[in-house]
Structure 1
Amino acid sequence: MALSHRLELRQGQGLVITPQLQQAIKLLQLSNIELDAFVEAELERNPLLLRDEGEAQPAPDVEAERDPSLTPVDSVADTAAGREMDAPVEDASPGERAAGETIEAEHAGGQIDWSRAGSGGSFDSEDGYESALVDVPTLSAHLRAQLAQAGLSPVRNAIADFLIDAVDEGGYLRLDVVELAVRLGCRLEMVEEVLTVLQGFEPAGVFARDVRECLALQLKDLNRYDPAMAAMLDHLELLAKRDMASLRRVCGVDDEDLRDMIAEVRSLNPRPGAAYLSEQAETLVPDVMVREGLGGMWHVELNTDTLPRVLVDQRYHARVAKGARSDQEKTFVADCMASANWLVKSLDQRAKTILKVASEIVRQQDGFLAYGVEHLRPLNLKTVADAISMHESTVSRVTSNKYIATPRGVFELKFFFTSAIQSSEGGEAHSAASVRHKIKGLVDAERTEADVHSDDRIVEILKAAGVDIARRTVAKYREAMRIPSSVERRRQMKEMA
């Protein structure tokens, strides 16, 4: 067949993502810190853009050539200021609010706070220059990596996140667990259960609340914690004073045993977290704030402190456009003006979208705000997207790296999305977190061998309660919570009897 050239015209439809649309999508998924850096770069690149600093002072040389009167095209912060949306709550009375976190340092025996002394290692060790050159992860990153493998339920995982955030550079927990339980609206026993799991993480001794607990955790890890060691840890002030006679008496040991015990204690690390890279503490600034209103309403508003205040200098544009001579200069001025207008429009649209998505999340999860973490409802991106007539990908971008301040604390927007278990009665679906809580409650209620429930029996109990769940799902949740099988639980009860 002979080859030939010819011209054809074809008409079709296609989606073209323009550079401006790409920029708008990019802005939507940026955190407030990343957004501020992006806007700062645009301010340096585009001479027609100015940051509105309130009572701005003209910069020397450059601003002297401009007309001091600025005509703003828009100001994102001004647009968002005062704008709030009310999320109605049905039959919700706000739960008890906790006061702010109180973090205190404890002293061993009133003499020395070993949890703050030195920079890590054992009591006798000294940090060498080489240790500063080792590439190690941060302590929080190391702990979260272990948390990801712990298989905790979403509720307990959320509690663990709070506890990890409260660990200082030495590995000590500087947070009152009672206050945390009140703030999250959950049982104190649940917080203590999570803390027990976290205290089993590496390095040994992490999540201790004082130096005695830190050393005790390390001795238990070495299987060397006995009554004599417990007595020594209860009287660390005697060790600090080198009062060996009193130590021998309270520990009930002879001189040789006491020397061995002291050597063991001195080999422990009073600051287990110091071996990891310290990270500079950054204040988490929420993008959205929720406050309690009258009549069972939650008021959702943007945090205007995180929104860049950007102005377009119309008069300066008119001056430089009038003075442009060549086509290249005219094109440059026109491009700068178009870019400036698009940036301001994109920033305003970003603010409106975040507010819209956050308001719907608050409406869906009003039970959590009113009653606590155990009342999280099953929620996915599609549910929110359909409710506000947006695409799932848009909701996903909005909820990435965005935080919301609530009366129960500051949470990432993605925190409120949990999987669902269908109802066996055709009613509202159950949150996977609440189903895990039900399973653990059934196991905790077991007192004798006859009370132990098999996975099949748990399925029957849950279905009677309206939860449609498969046996393999029950087994998966049970294993994730580190609950032994029914056979193993019966064996343990028989041994304890």
Structure 2
Amino acid sequence: MALGPRLDIRQTQQLVMTPQLQQAIKLLALSNLEIETFIGEALEANPLLDIGGEAETVAPDTEESPAREEGAVDRMIGEGQGEADQPLDIDPAAIDRDRDTGDGSLFGTDTGGNFEGGGEAPQIEEHGGEEASLVEHLVAQIGAAAPDERLAFVAAHIAGLLDEAGYLPVPLREVANDLGVTLADAEAALAVVQSLDPTGVGARGLSECLALQAKEADRYDPCMARLIDNLDLLAKGNIKQLKRICSVDDEDFADMMAELRGYDPKPGLRFGNSGGNRAIVPDILLRARADGGWDIALNQATLPRLVVNRSYYLELRKACDDKEARSWLSEKLTDANWLIKALDQRQKTILKVTAEIVKQQDGFFRHGVSELRPLTLKAVAEAIDMHESTVSRVTANKYLHCERGTFELKYFFTSGIASADGGEAISAEAVKAQIKALTEAEDPKAILSDDALVELLRQKGFDLARRTVAKYREAIGIGSSVQRRRQKALEAVR
């Protein structure tokens, strides 16, 4: 065989993600407030778009249609194509339901845009759509969190001292001296700031910031506390020493590290120029119906509806004298029509995923956390015939409001604990709720040990090891039997 340069012809197939398809994928992961910002930018960039009631489409000029075909993008979305290994999985035909005929009413669930019978959605406090700085966001919360006006004033002063990451860069004693208050008052005011959203602000260092978030997540047990206190060892990679200090095995350490990676080391950067989270505004509204089903609707207060400005399009079309101008106008029209369709598909996909979550967690919405079932992204994806990555995108940064409060959609995906009778697995959150209920109801003269809790939980169908019970007990802030005995003895004396 001769050695030397040569030319070869090869035929290959490759999935090419157009900018439109990439944008459609990104739209799924955005919250309603982020979509609101996105729509604002789209309105500025495309003169044919307008805010209106019912979306309408205008047929593009066939003579001057742009090179890229809108239909090709729609087909790729409909076939569930996206990234090569993470499809978008949107099937408009499967999720487009006619409410009037009752077609597609999941277990008595309505996934329309409005609540049944013309009723209004639950009244949710609207947090402004305008960009808010970190200080403004915190000060707006202080009034409700501070016990009196004096501490509210000190807390507001501390909020003004925070750096852009949300940390307090000055010593607390210096704050007390500047305001002429006691150190105890300054500490109490700092505690108020640290109780505000986002969790972690007001910390005086990375360890305290992570500790505040661990406490908020009910994961600040002694093992996690020791891990957070030894972040320098983690930075050096001394894993073996850390596991000895934390007294955990490989599995527990991996679980702690996964939890730690989920925390935000600089919560303040979500605000200001970073344009991040403001106070939580629900994306989805859930309400029980009289017939036992559920009404599910998107929060239209944060979701403007786009339409094509038909009259303006016709005016511009008459004024387009040259080929280049007509091509530009046709491209803008195609972009507008496609964006309206993409946003509509996003809404339908969110409603479809939410309907399945509500169906799977029906017991939680009716009876509370004790009925929360183990649930995975894969289980929901298989039930609605979508890819797991699509469900992950849809549930990211989305909040659902119901009678029990406002919850992130990710909250409903929980790990499972084996049932003592070999039946269906039980949610870890349900186990924590049972432990809390048992300890609150215990006789002060007969405090339950962890072994006793294990036995009582087994009688209720929870098959747990003693170490697991201790871990969950500490995670929800319940002390040991000795600590509880002393605490209840003091309460009895009072």
**TM-score, structure 1 normalization:** 0.55
In structure 1, the partner of 2:80 is: none
Q: Which residue of 2 aligns with 1:150?
A: 215
Distance in 1 of aligned mates of 2:386 and 2:301: 26
Can you list the C-alpha shifts for 1:43-79, whole angstroms capped at 9, x where unaligned?
Answer: 111122222279xxxxxxxxxxxxxxx96459xxxx9
> Quick one: distance in 2 between partners of 1:11 and 1:45?
37
List aligned pairs for 1:371-450, cutoff 5 A. Answer: 371-443=367-439, 447=443
Q: Secondary structure at the match of 2:401?
A: strand
Tell me: CA distance 1:152–1:453, structure 2 relative to 1, closer, same or farther (3 Å): farther
Find the counterpart in structure 2 of residue 188 from structure 1.
none
Partner-residue secondary structure (3-state), 2:449: coil
Asked if 1:303 is matched to 2:299, the reply is yes
- The 5 Å alignment of 1:327-366 reads 327-366=323-362
| Distance in 2 (alpha carbons) for counterparts of 1:367 and 1:35 | 31
Mapped to 1, the partners of 2:422 and 2:322 lie a distance apart of: 72
Q: 1:368 to 1:316 in 2, by over 3 A?
A: same
Counterpart amino acid of residue 23 in structure 1: Q
Is the CA contact 1:86–1:298 (under 8 Å) kept in the aligned structure 2? no
Partner of 1:469: 464
Distance 2:449 2:161 in 1: 54
How much does 1:6 deviate? 0.8
Matched residue, 1:214:
none
Larger relative contact order (CA 8 Å, sep ≥ 6): 1
Aligned partner of 1:120 in structure 2 is 153
Change (3 A) 1:396 1:37: same
Structure 1 residues 413 and 6, CA, compared in 2 at 3 Å: closer, same or farther?
A: same
- Aligned residues between the structures: 331
What corresponds to 2:107 in structure 1? 88
8 Å contact kept, 1:89–1:363: no
Q: Residue 489 and residue 37 in structure 1: after superposition, are their counterparts in 2 closer, same or farther (change >3 A)?
A: closer
Cross-structure match for 2:68: none
CA distance, structure 2, for counterparts of residue 307 and residue 100 of structure 1: 14
Residues 275-301 of structure 1 deviation map (CA, whole Å, 9 limit, x = unaligned): xx9xxx977543322222222111222
- 8 Å Cα contact 1:421/1:431 also seen in 2: yes
In structure 2, what is the equivalent of residue 110 of structure 1? none
Deviations along 1:191-241, whole A, 9 cap, x unmatched?
xxxxxxxxxxxxxxxxxxxxxxxxxxxxxxxxxxxxxxxxxxxxxxxxxxx
Q: Closer, same or farther in 2 for the Cα pair 1:152/1:24, shift >3 Å?
A: closer
- Supply the distance in 2 between the matched residues of 1:390 and 1:120 (Cα, whole angstroms): 51
Q: Deviations over 1:130-172 (max 9, x none)?
A: 9945525564147555553227659xxxxxxxxxxxxxxxxxx
Q: Distance in 2 between matches of 1:131 and 1:81?
A: 51
Which residue in 2 is equivalent to 1:30? Answer: 30
Deviation at 1:361, TM superposition (A): 1.8
Please say if residues 71 and 315 of structure 1, whose CA atoms lie closer than 8 Å, have aligned partners that are also in contact.
Answer: no
CA drift of 1:394 comes to: 1.6
**TM-score, scaled to structure 2:** 0.55
Cα deviations across residues 338-389 of structure 1 (Å, max 9, x unaligned)? 2111101101101111111121222222222222333322222222222211
**1:383 and 1:118, CA in 2 relative to 1: closer, same or farther beyond 3 A?**
closer
The 2-side partners of 1:45 and 1:396 are apart by: 30
Specify the alignment match of 1:52 in structure 2: 52
RMSD: 4.6
2:12: which partner in 1?
11
Q: 365, 368, 375: which one pairs with 2:364?
A: 368
Letter of the aligned partner of 1:150 in structure 2?
Answer: K
Task: Look at both structures and tell me which one has the larger radius of gyration over its CA atoms.
Answer: 1
| Structure 1 range deviating more: 480-489 or 351-360 | 480-489
Q: CA 1:333/1:99 → structure 2, altered by over 3 Å: closer, same or farther?
A: closer
C-alpha distance in 2, partners of 1:370/1:131? Answer: 39
Shift, 1:30, TM fit: 1.5
Unaligned residue ranges in structure 1 (runs of 5+): 55-69, 91-97, 107-112, 155-276
CA 1:308–1:380: 2 relative to 1, 3 Å? same
Q: Residues 142, 4 of structure 1: CA spacing in aligned structure 2 closer, same or farther, 3 A cutoff? A: closer
Kindly indicate whether the alpha-carbon contact (under 8 Å) linking 2:99 and 2:105 is maintained by their aligned counterparts in 1.
Answer: no
Displacement of 1:401 in angstroms is 2.4
Change (3 A) 1:114 1:388: closer
